[in-house]
Structure 1
Amino acid sequence: MSSKADAAKAAESSGGSALGEIRALLDGLIAAHHQAVQTERLRAFREMAGEVAHDFNNTLSGILARAQLLLADVQDPDVRRSLRMIEQVALEGAWVVRRFQDFSRTRPARPFQSLDINQLVEEIAASARSRWNQQIAARGLSGEIRCETGPVPAVAGDMAELRQVLTSMALNALDAMPEGGNLTFRTGYEDGRVFCQVIDTGIGMSEQVRLRVFDPFFTTKREKGKGFGLSGAYAIVDRHGGEITVESEVGKGTAFTVWLPPESPVAEPVPASAPARVAAPAPAAAPAAAPAPATRSGAKILVVDDSEEVREVLRELLSRHGYTVVTVPDGESALVELGTRTFDLAMVDLGLPGISGLEVASRLKERWPGTHVALMTGYGDRMGPEDALAKGVDFVLSKPFSLDQLRSVVDHALTLDKTSRS
């Protein structure tokens, strides 16, 4: 009798153990499925964001350039005030587009360097601690910020970007503790990867929110933010070859974990600077008035862009300063023009229909090596300076560019041309 009872208990125990293993396996499969769906959704959005950013940059290029051209001509103070507002809105729009491009970017903006993740965490914790202590003291609450760093190998990464990731997570954690609480930074090394956790004891989030927390534009803070913080963090970590996971329970808190691969034993050398002939000016505050490019008598410029507005505004700007300007809408037409006359500078859009801007630049340099090429791009970082130089590109202008930035590139190109001819 006893043996039968023992057998029954053993069977029950074995069955319970098997059921537990099945449940754990199912939980793992569900989590993996959610991660795969999220990764695919964000991948698709990143591709779309890149295309949308390109189209918006073309539009903003026309708006910004027109406003700056009018500012150079108009003296009426009321009209100038309105033009300044248009200019400022265009620049703000350019900033939003750059956020899109940051999210859609798949390659690092700068060469990675060897980083001590513990040092970075301690710096961010110190900054957050100062802010948190002021907040809880003003509201009579309690809480603290702790650092629990473990021994970890160096990681290869972009210090500014990883700082942005961890700072964004820390600020979200502090916002999630309106009644005070504890924030813990924890680092370690597990399964061949470095991890950094940001753990709060705040309000937590529902499962529905947790599954969408990295979605672009998704935010639970309606009064502030555009929902780019955590989605941007996700994109940055992905560019670093890592991943972000999140665990949360309503009323108990949330834990974000950033996983990063350790630095390769053989680190790639970091170049001291980009090639000297490639300039990549970023959109900046516009000049007070459109300064005139330094005209070189007889200089001929070819503008190749599928946006009629961009073509026309560049024609107007460059023509009024004495240049001979020819505009065409595509690569095929550009090659025809190049075969009939000589140009000192070709300004070519990257995203041309048919023959791409890079292909135009490459063919142009093969046949007319004396013609300088400025590549105009609304795609952000689709190509680094080294790649551009290898394709025959001398300068890179990121749309939307100011008239001052345009002048800088034209001046430099014509100066190089004059020097090479003398």
Structure 2
Amino acid sequence: MIYRLVRYNMESIYNKLFIKNKCKKLLCIETKKFNTRKYIPKIIRNSILKNLLDNKKVVIFTDSILHRKILDIYINKKNTFLTRCFENKNLNIEYYDVVDFTVNPIQFLHMLNMIAKTKEELCVIWDFKSISKRFSKLSEIKKCIEDIFSYSNKNVCNIIYIYNIVYNFKDIRKFLNNFDDVVIEYMKSQILCSCNDNIDSTVTLLKYGEELSCRDNAIFSFNNMFDKIPKGIKMDKFTCFIVNELVNICDVDFCIIHTLNDNGNDIFKLDNFTGIINEYKIYLTESIERTDFKDYLLMNNDSCIDKSLKGCLEKIGVQSCAAIHVKYFDTIDGIIYVGRYHNYISEFDFRYIKDICKASFCIIQYKYMNFNLKSRLMENERLKLMGEIGLGVAHDINNILTPIIGCTQLLKDKIDDKNLLKQLKIIEICAYDGMNITNKVKKIAKQYNKSKSEIFSIDDLILDAVELTKSKWLMESAANGIKIVVVTKLNSKAKIKGNATEIREVFINIIRNCVDAMPYGGTINIISKCIKEKVRLYVKDDGIGMSKSEMEKIFEPFFTTKGNKGSGLGLSVSNDIIKEHNGMIRVFSKKNIGTMFEIELPISKEVIKHDDNLYDKRISFNGNILIIDDRQEIRNVISNMLKSMISDCKVKNCGCENIEQEIARRRYDVVICDFSMPSINGLQVANMVKKMYDDSYFCLMTGWVGEFSKEKLNKVDFILNKPINKSDIVKLFMDYKEFR
């Protein structure tokens, strides 16, 4: 290898080239990225200065952008040598438009005319660095070089300045034969190569420098890629951004990235591509995947590869293609394809391309996790806000339910008709289901204490759910011109311990989903049976069914197949309820055949003793009762409930006006007061009552679903939560007896 490496002694390089060898055709190749402040390499700067000092003319032919920068950096400064040379016309800077260079080369023709007619000694710096970057081919530059050398007379010294990019190194040998010498600028070193002696040494050196430069540039670009990510970018846009950046970083023409299979749900499935049409993408990926490669595959069109693959590359016009198997832990596998249409991917290139592709795939999945985390945080904030709003809504619901439950129970005491009693029971069940909704608001607001468990018959509960959904599966379906039948086979006779309202809600949700899945009608079968110490329940429809992907997501929050008609919360809540009861829920479905829900719950062996007479129990009390509430209907229904249960009592109703005067007018044994009223709250009333009559019994009545601190309840003897029924009133007076 014949070349000489000189780090600092530029004088010796200049002397050898222009004084000793009389070099007229010099090629200067830059291997590093453009830097404005150090735009002109040392050998070119030395040549310019030496020629100007010798009173020779120098012309720099560069692109329009760099023309302005050179003027700003080197020329537009007062009292400098270059400024004086520029003013004296010894230094001239001509420019061209790199975009229109091959279409309208007026400036270039002007330069050719100059070098052909000049009678003075002239040094011309031909800056084709931008052209070499833009076209990535030697053919355009080669045509210019041939014209330059053919037009130049003996007085002209030409220095050609280009950038070392991914050239076809077979062509560059012929290209270098046009020059006397080559100077390669690499970092802080200048390497002088003689083209007349051993041109292979120069080509090898250029190839090595290009590979190192590409690797360094790729790593640099990859590290800086994340600074370019726009703030607030969506996940789909982020993936497209990564794919486009891979094309730039790896210096390829196209990129395809997609997933193969996955072993989990919390992954991001990809099918993105750029630089290739969809038809060719499918053809290429299917052809490569049929080879069943393991980790990676590099295919160059001139190498020994499978005939089918070679034919595939030729058909879509690809010179080189690489396929890299990528993996994100044990959750997801994928393949990234990159390729070039005109140049080859070397083994050196492929080493860093592999690492960048694998890292990019993991980064996409990691970014997806961040997107999910951010979405969940936003969803938590939304749920928190919903919870705060829900507290107020729940209070209003409880106020509405109190007269409904109270009046229903009062009517049940006076009616003997079985059909009417059945309807009243449905009203009462629905009212208690409404009360359970307010308990769920407590869960959202994180102020929930689990209600006491009860033991109930699962078969009776399912029958209640069927009855409560009758308007859906019978009446609504009939209105839509279809027929849906519910068939029950409930033989388990099992007793379950838990929240009956919540379990009933599970079956209501499932039945409603079954109805929605049968747009053409059908049958819903509900079966219960005992298996060892558990009860197994089946709800089966013969509707449209679900795909495998839909089944995997069916219990996820906000997932729905009903579009805007569904919230996506029903089955998610149902799944949580069953799990809270130490049970299990599964779904089996096939498209156009139907869906079956299987629920398994533990059978309770406990027996909870109930006071069967608590509801109808008469209360022994002889005293004065004051009921304070801003809503008249609530005051009236509680008053009627008290009078129906206590024969010897005096009940007085009072709104939120003149409360203090009413308390002072008469001593009341029991004061039942609402917590939330417009002008005063129940805790203030409690302080007022205890201040006047310390031995009065104060009951705080509230529909609020929040919790009070112990300090605030120091004047309160009993809390009566709305909605209120007769059993609650019995418990109130049982506590009153203990108080006395």
Task: Give TM-score, length-normalised by structure 1.
Answer: 0.53
2:729 corresponds in structure 1 to: 406
> Counterpart of 1:61 in structure 2: which amino acid?
T
Asked if structure 2 preserves the Cα contact closer than 8 Å seen for 1:294 and 1:411, the reply is no
Rounded Cα–Cα distance in structure 2 between residues aligned with 1:288 and 1:338: 31
Aligned partner of 1:42 among 355, 359, 383: 383
SS in 2 for 1:292: coil
Aligned to 1:291: 617
Partner residue of 1:90 out of 431, 441, 446: 431
Q: Which residue of 2 aligns with 1:52?
A: 393
The correspondence for 1:350, drawn from 675, 678, 683, is 675
2:385 match: secondary structure: helix
CA drift of 1:311 comes to 0.4
Offset of residue 409 of structure 1: 0.3
Alignment partners' CA distance in 2, 1:308 and 1:226: 39
In 2, Cα distance between the equivalents of 1:45 and 1:31?
20
**Per-residue Cα deviation, 1:306-353 (whole angstroms, up to 9, x for no partner):** 2221100112222353322222232x5333311222111111112222
Q: 1:307 to 1:203 in 2, by over 3 A?
A: farther
Find out whether 1:227 has 2:569 as its counterpart.
Answer: yes
Return the match for 1:66 from 400, 407, 418: 407
Give the whole-Å Cα distance in 1 for the aligned partners of 2:693 and 2:556.
Answer: 52
- Aligned position for 2:643: 319
What is the deviation of 1:38? 1.2
Distance in 2 (CA, whole Å) between partners of 1:27 and 1:226 is 22
Secondary structure at the counterpart of residue 396 of structure 1:
strand
Shift of 1:231: 6.5
Aligned amino acid, residue 356 of structure 1 = N
Instruction: Report deviation, 1:66.
Output: 0.7
Higher radius of gyration, 1 or 2: 2
Instruction: Read off the aligned partner of 1:378 and give its amino acid letter.
Output: G
The one of 6, 18, 31 equivalent to 2:224 is 18
Could you tell me which residue of structure 1 aligns to residue 631 of structure 2? 307
What is the aligned length?
A: 273
Q: CA deviation at 1:395?
A: 0.8
* One-letter identity of the residue aligned with 2:569: G
- Indicate if the aligned counterparts of 2:625 and 2:672 stay in contact, CA closer than 8 A: yes
Question: Using a 3 Å threshold, how does the CA distance of structure 1 residues 20 and 369 change in structure 2: closer, same or farther?
Answer: same
Q: Where in structure 2 are the equivalents of 1:14-413 lying within 5 Å?
A: 14-19=220-225, 30-31=371-372, 33-99=374-440, 101-107=441-447, 109=449, 203=548, 213-214=556-557, 219=560, 227=569, 230=572, 290-296=616-622, 299-320=623-644, 321-330=647-656, 332-383=657-708, 386-387=710-711, 389-390=713-714, 392-413=715-736
User: How many Å separate the matches in 1 of 2:703 and 2:560?
Assistant: 27
Greater length-normalized contact order (CA 8 Å, ≥ 6 residues apart)? 1
CA deviations on 1:177-216 (whole Å, 9 max, x unpaired) are: xxxxxxxxxxxxxxxxxxxxxxxxx95579xx89x9545x
In 2, are the aligned partners of 1:69 and 1:317 still within 8 Å (CA)? yes
Give the 3-state SS of the residue equivalent to 1:303 in structure 2: strand
Displacement of 1:103: 3.1
Task: Give 1:68 shift.
Answer: 0.9
- 1:71–1:225: structure 2 CA closer, same or farther, 3 Å change rule? farther
**Paired residue secondary structure (2:619):** coil
Structure 1: gaps of 5 or more residues: 111-159, 173-201, 235-283
SS in 2 for 1:374: strand
Distance change (3 Å), C-alpha of 1:9 and 1:402: same
Q: Secondary structure at the match of 1:375?
A: strand
In 2, the alpha carbon distance for the partners of 1:226 and 1:205 equals 12
Cα distance 1:233–1:81, how it changes in 2: closer, same or farther (>3 A)? closer
Provide the C-alpha distance between the structure 2 equivalents of 1:233 and 1:353, rounded to a whole number of angstroms. 40
CA distance in 2, matches of 1:14, 1:398: 66
Query: Does the CA contact (< 8 Å) of 1:286 and 1:402 recur in 2?
Result: no
On the 8 A contact 2:557/2:568 being kept in 1, the answer is: no
Partner residue, 2:212:
6
Query: What do you get for the CA RMSD once the two structures are aligned?
Result: 4.3
Distance 1:225 1:292, change over 3 A: farther
Q: Does the Cα contact within 8 Å between 1:109 and 1:381 map onto a contact in 2? A: no
Gapped runs of 5+ residues in structure 2?
A: 1-205, 230-241, 243-362, 451-497, 511-546, 577-609
Distance 1:81 1:35, change over 3 A: closer
Q: 3-state SS of the aligned residue for 1:326? A: strand
Query: Do 1:303 and 1:326's aligned partners in 2 also have CA atoms closer than 8 Å?
Result: yes
SS of the counterpart of 1:63? helix
Query: Could you say if the C-alpha distance between residues 221 and 290 of structure 1 is closer, same or farther in structure 2, counting changes exceeding 3 Å?
Result: farther
Aligned-pair identity (%): 21
Deviation at 1:363, TM superposition (A): 3.2
Name the structure 1 match of 2:239: none
Distance 2:449 2:421 in 1: 36
Call closer, same or farther: CA 1:355–1:213 in 2, change over 3 Å: farther
Counterpart-to-counterpart distance in 2, 1:103 and 1:288: 29
Change (3 A) 1:39 1:289: closer
The alignment partner of 2:637 has SS state of helix
Q: Which letter maps to 2:630?
A: D
Distance 1:84 1:232 in 2: 24
Contact 1:348/1:357, CA 8 A, preserved across alignment: yes
Q: For 2:699 and 2:574, how far apart are their aligned partners in 1?
A: 30
Shift of 1:79: 3.4
State the Cα deviation string for residues 107-129 of structure 1 (Å, max 9, x = none): 3527xxxxxxxxxxxxxxxxxxx
1:81 is displaced (CA, Å) by 3.3
Return the letter of the residue paired with 1:358.
L
**Offset at residue 69 of structure 1 (A):** 1.1
SS of alignment partner, residue 348 of structure 1: strand
CA contact (8 A) 1:304 1:328 kept: yes
CA gap 1:412/1:60 in 2 versus in 1, 3 angstroms = same
Change (3 A) 1:388 1:84: farther
* Distance of aligned partners of 1:49 and 1:224 in 2 relative to their CA distance in 1, 3 Å threshold: same
Summarize the Cα distance change of 1:288–1:4 in structure 2 as closer, same or farther, 3 Å threshold: same
Deviates more, 1:397-406 or 1:1-10: 1-10
Q: Distance in 1 between matches of 2:568 and 2:653?
A: 38
CA contact (8 A) 1:375 1:397 kept: yes
